[in-house]
Amino acid sequence: MKANLVVTAVILLCCACKKDKQQGQTNFKNERVKSTSWTGGGQSTYTYDDKKRQVKEASNTGITIEFSYEQGKVIRRVKQTTQTDSFIYELNAEGYVKTLLVPGGITYTYEYTVGGMLAKESSNEPSPFAATHYYNTTTGLQDSIRQTVGGVWYSTAIYTYYTDKGNSLRNENLGLASYGEVFLKPVKRYRSLYKDGSIIKEQITDFTYTYDGKGRIITKTTVSSTGSDTYSYTYY
């Protein structure tokens, strides 16, 4: 199930640029993140091609991620010491992911609203994963995601935001525009309801940020019942 949650996180789509203009917030479209560091000493550095697409993420954890681009396709290769895994993304006519083939042969399929935001995702597993995305009709922000496995409810994620701030940590700021945008605004609270056996549990994660003079996020701190972590960001 963790793999499914990772796929969901990577692929969430929103019409970011249009809504930024409507809400009068800073547009960070041309900003690119140079590095991320986090609690415990981990660090990743990102490099981009002349189209500002990410071509490499080098981490001091021993994992390197490389991207190659073809017409209508993105290939992401995750390299570790003893193996390399390839993830193949097929793009739709708008340039967003429509299918994802992961190692092991599972394919994920994505559907969108008329406005171009991710509406549904599903897998072709024997007990298929599926997620439905819900949006606030006034703000355009994603309210929640409902996930099922084998047609049975598994989890619900509920989001609130800092609506007066812009988000400089979108996928486009990492050179991953083909994946769409994750969140229009910085997340303030993430509430997760999930099934653990026959018990429904809840976990709440709160987010705080600091910003530089351009309004870009330079630190993000997450606090939940399991502990806290701080992430730091630099930009080109």
Here the CATH number for the domain that contains residue 210 is 2.40.160.190
pLDDT tens-digit map of 51-61 = 999 999 999 99
Q: Assign residue 215 a region: left if phi > 0, alpha if psi is -120 to 50, beta otherwise?
A: left
Percent of the chain with pLDDT over 70: 87
- How far is residue 103's CA from residue 164's CA, in Å, rounded to a whole number? 40
Selection from 118, 122, 184, 181 nearest residue 147 by Cα = 122
What average pLDDT does this structure show over 176-203? 90
Across 147-166, average pLDDT = 96
What is the C-alpha separation between 167 and 187, in angstroms, rounded? Answer: 9
Lowest mean pLDDT among 14-28, 120-134, 209-223: 14-28
- State yes or no: pLDDT of 12 exceeds 50: no
- CB–CB of 129/179 below 8 Å? no
Q: Into how many domains does the chain fold?
A: 1
Across all residues in the chain, what is the average pLDDT?
88
Q: Which has more confidence, 44 or 115?
A: 44
In which domain, by residue range, is 94 found? 2-235
- How far apart are the C-alpha atoms of 65 and 57, rounded to whole Å? 5
Q: Residues 62-86: pLDDT tens digits?
A: 999 999 999 999 999 999 999 999 9
Q: Worst-scoring range by mean pLDDT, 20-29, 42-51, 130-139, 171-180?
A: 20-29
Element (H, E) at 75: strand 73-79
